[in-house]
Every structure is written in structure tokens, then in C-alpha cells.
Structure 1
Amino acid sequence: MSIAGRPAEQPVETAIRALAALEDRLRYGMYEFIRTARRPVTREQAAEAVGISRKLAAFHLDKLVGAGLLRSDYEPVGGLRKVGRTPKVYQPVDRDIRVSIPERQPDVLASILLDAVLTERAGETARQAAIRAAQDRGRQVAATEREQLRPGRLGAERALTLSETLLKRHGYEPERVSSGCVALRNCPFHPLAEQARELVCGLNHAYLTGFLAGLDAPTVQAVLQPKAGECCVELRLGS
């Protein structure tokens, strides 16, 4: 059980659930039709596109909504309001579906580097700007988590436990290796780390340092501890 109660679904689990919903041939056909329609689609239109009944189409469409692939609403089709009940329409959710096991997050790294380019300050090197952007991003992510959870003041042990719980949601694979240390078995930025290990590890360290600051967990430190095949950072209780 997480600190907040019910465990949050991991991004990879969400993606797998979405892909599983598309395994059915008819369901995939309707999703493809709606995604390429560029307009709201009714149940009748979706049913006609794949040659099934409206009732069966409604079942499959609800499955796609539940998987987070479609969103539904009630609105006039073509902007014209007719007499009677406004039909239910479906549109694709603006999202990418990717599954990576173990989880990788190259988009996070790309976003950090983009922020660095857009906010680079006078007298700041590109590397310094990237480190600052990574730390800012980590702080923002953790501050959002803290605002949602409202955990109050964090003692040392609770801060380490909460950090472990939350980082699992963000592509890491934390493992408590001792009472005062959490190892991160997965590097979310691999294989980019293989191309520029010093830079990527520095950004990862800055991100996690910012994360702990945003969580208001001063008793926990992000420590560079490079290991082959694992994340280069460990979380340790301060002395």
C-alpha cells in the first residue's frame, strides 16, 4: 500500500492495459476509424465502419474509453442540434502509447534539455543550464506529488519510504538495500546514458536532488554511485 492509500497505476501498466484493449480486431478497427476521422464519431458511425451492431459497438467503445484511448461526450454531430437526445460521440485521447520494460523515459530527458536551451542564462554554459533545468524539473515533479499527498512533516525514515514509493511512479526501480539506503536498479534514461554517461548521470543526479528538495525531504540525499546496468544514483539518509 502506498502512503496515499491505494497504489497508483504505473505508466507501463497503463500502456499495457491500453494495448490489451486494442488486441481485439473489431475494437482496433473502431479505434483506427475514430483516430483518423478528425471529428467526433457516434456509436452508429463506428458500428458501420466495422460492420457490427450499435449495441456491440457501444460495448467495445466503452472498453476503449476505460483503457484511456478514447473520450466520450454528448454533443450535436456536425454542430446541428436535432430534436431528441443528443448523441454520444467519441474522440481519441491525445496520448502516445509506448511500452518499455524496464521503463525508459527519454522524453523527460528531451524536455529537460529543451528547457535548458529556452532558459539558458547569460554567463551560463550549456551544461550548467541543463543541470539547472534537471534540478528544477525534479523539484516541480515532487512538489506536485507532495501537494496531492499532503504528507506533512517528513521524518527521516518516512521521507526515504515516500521517496522510494514515488520514484517507482517515475520510471525508477527502487530497492531498499539497507535501513538507510535505497538503490535505484533501473536507469530511465538508458540507453542515452550509454552515449554520454557523464552528462546523463549528472542530469539524473540533479533531477533526483531537485526531487528530494521538492518533496521537502532534507534528511535524504541523492548520492552518485555508478554501477554497471543500474541507475547511477542512490538515496541515502543523511548523517
Structure 2
Amino acid sequence: MDTSWDARVQAVAALEEPTRRRLYEYVVGRPEPVSRDDAANALGLPRTTAAFHLDKLTEEGLLATCYERRTGRTGPGAGRPAKLYHRSDREIEISLPERQYAVAGRLLAAAVEDAETTGSSPRDAVNRRAREYGEALGRAAGGAPLTEILAAHGFEPRPDKDGIALANCPFQRIAREQPQLVCGMNLHLLAGLVSTLDIPYEARLVPTPGHCCVRLVPAGLSSAGG
């Protein structure tokens, strides 16, 4: 399933249509999957109208379908199973500017488990997990340009004469409360990313108001020049 920004926006936009939104709320509010007839009767809609919108919600990944014979009969003559709708497992997050709090949550949860299991420092565990995640992003990039990878993960890269500034922190809300923890996590994540790419950049902490605390600078550049 397409998880790109455009696909997420399109999925949420599907709920702008009032009838479609009412159908979605009805389906997800039921304890069991519902049929087209169930939905049409509950909302006072023609069956064809309910079917059209339910299928549109399914196309966008907001609902999923299953098939079931509600009569309880089986075998020849039992009739075709009814198409039923229920909430899908897809999770859709949209924030402006883009945030990646689910990523932060996974990294921090894994780090806590690592620290409890190995007895290592929780901060070291966070940094190690962040670097591994960055390396995984680099390996999965398929040769995409660095700026494209950074943009896809919410960093809003801004190349300049000194390297690449990052205009957005994907973990901003957490960073406000725990700046040292999150800045360290960002540093190791981005260091892991660039380490897997054949590019002459390195990640460095350069706190700048209104930006991510990390900047990507040409490898070997002295601190005075960064």
C-alpha cells in the first residue's frame, strides 16, 4: 500500500465528503463488520450510494472487507457470502510541519528494553538504536539523493554553502522537553544514514533556532568552518 505523503493526504481528504464520513464513522463504531444493507438502512441511504462510498473508503485503505454468510447455511444453495466492511489496520498520520513521533516512540521503547536486558546506559541504547535506524533508511533508499531521503523523513533539507541545514525537527515536541536526548538521537540517526551512502558528509550538532539541532557538513570540515 502506498504510504507516501500524497497517498496519506488523499486518504484523509476522502473523509471530506459528508456522506462518506458518516459511513466511515458508522462502520468503525460497530463491534462487528457491517454490510452495505446495514449501512444504508442505518443512515437512510440508497444501497447504491452506500456501496459507492464504502468501496471508495476501501480503495483509500480506511476500511477493509471480508466475506461471510450471515444465514449460517453452508454448501450448495447457501447463497453467495455477503461483502462486509470494517476498520482497516492502516494508520494515517498527517502533521504540518511533518513529525515522526511514532518513529521516536519505537526507538525509545526498543532502547528501554535494550537497557533493561543488557544493563547498558539508556542514553547509549537510544543512540545505538537511532544509528541502526538511520543505517536502515540508507540501505532502503535505493540510491535516492540524500536530500530526497531527508525530505521523505521530515527533515526539510536546505542545502547551502556550508552543507545541508535541516529546517525541521521531526521530533520537535519531544525535543522541547528533552533536548539533549533528542538531539543525540537525531545526531546518531543522521550519522547512521550518511554512513551507508557514498557521500562526503558527516552529521554534526549545530543548534540553530528554528532548525533541527543537526547539520550535515562536508566530511573533515573543522568545527570552526562548520
TM-score bin, normalised by smaller chain: 0.7 to 0.9
- Partner in structure 2 of residue 43 of structure 1: 36
Distance in 2 separating the partners of 1:181 and 1:79 = 67
SS in 2 for 1:44: helix
Distance in 1, Cα, partners of 2:132 & 2:70: 44
Query: Which string of whole-angstrom CA distances, capped at 9 and with x for unpartnered residues, describes residues 188-210 of structure 1?
Result: 11121111212211111111112
Q: What aligned pairs does 1:113-128 form with structure 2 within 5 A after superposition?
A: 113-120=108-115, 122=118, 124-128=120-124
Match of 1:195 among 177, 184, 193: 177
- SS of alignment partner, residue 37 of structure 1: coil
Partner residue in 2 for 1:235? 216
Which AA in structure 2 matches 1:58?
A: A
Question: Could you give the per-residue CA deviations for residues 19-77 of structure 1, whole angstroms, max 9, x where no partner exists?
Answer: 32122222122111211223222222222221111111121112212322112344434
Q: Give the Cα separation in 2 of the matches to 1:125 and 1:38.
A: 44
Q: TM-score, normalised by structure 1?
A: 0.79
The unaligned stretches of length 5 or more in structure 2 are 221-226
Higher radius of gyration, 1 or 2: 2
Aligned length: 216
Q: What TM-score, normalized to structure 2? A: 0.83
Partner residue of 2:13 out of 20, 25, 40? 20
The reply on whether 1:59 has 2:52 as its aligned counterpart is yes
Return closer, same or farther for 1:43/1:105 CA change in 2, 3 Å cut-off.
Answer: same
Pair 1:219-2:200 in alignment: yes
* C-alpha contact (below 8 Å) 1:40/1:77 kept by paired residues: no
| 1:139/1:83 CA distance change after superposition, 3 Å | same
Gaps in structure 1 of 5+ consecutive residues: 1-6, 152-160
Give the superposed CA RMSD.
Answer: 2.6
Question: Is 1:104 aligned to residue 99 of structure 2?
Answer: yes
In the superposition, relative to structure 1, how do residues 195 and 29 fare at CA in structure 2: closer, same or farther (>3 Å)? same
